[in-house]
Amino acid sequence: MTSTEPSSDEAANASIDAQTSGIQGALDLVGDRWSMLILRASFRGVRRFSAIQTDLGIAKNLLADRLARLVDADILARVPYQDRPVRHEYVLTEKGRDLSAVLIALMHWGDRWCHHGSAPTVLVHDECGEPIEHSVRCPACATDLSPGQIQSRPGRRAGRERTKP
């Protein structure tokens, strides 16, 4: 059996809070199943209330609630798509589009580990059709990094803490 000791960096948790607030903030805004699925629909061009509702099979009250939250959070913008009568669709903002990495990572993981017998998807470069590569690199060392080789640090260079994601 393995005997491992708990991490002993707990004295330095004051600035780990700075890191935590990033992911906490993200999860506060998008850390629920429906929000993620709505965002995924947006990336796929499904932007109207009825279309999203049909696509996801979500209750209308929940959809209205989530859309309002995502608009409040400036992740989606409510944009008119016609005049008579005026009708709106929900369009990703830049902030919302930046969530693509999260969705891609989720999809990758899901396809690898949750494919339930259906064919996994492959993400490809649209121009050449070859599978894409996801990487995390150190440009200074010109090497790819594994998750264990990443630390995070406050942006102000106030100190160093060793953490994993």
CA 91/CA 161 separation, integer angstroms: 38
Q: At closest approach, how far in Å is the CB of 113 from its own copies?
A: 5
The pair of structure tokens assigned to 129 is 């059709």
Q: Which of residues 18-57 bind its own copies (CB under 8 A)?
A: 18-19, 21-29, 31-33, 36-37, 40, 43-48, 51
What, of DNA, its own copies, none, does residue 77 touch, CB below 5 to 8 Å by kind?
none
Per-residue x/- track, 67-106, its own copies (CB under 8 A): ------------xxxxx-----x-x---x-xxxxxxxxxx
Q: At closest approach, how far in Å is the CB of 64 from its own copies?
A: 19
Angle between helices 60-72 and 49-56 (to 10 degrees): 120
**What phi, psi does 103 have (nearest 5°)?**
-65, -40
Are 54 and 37 a contacting pair, CB within 8 Å?
no
Per-residue x/- track, 115-154, its own copies (CB under 8 A): xx-xxxxxxxxxxxxx-xxxxxxxxxx---x-x-xxxxxx
Are 141 and 77 a contacting pair, CB within 8 Å?
no
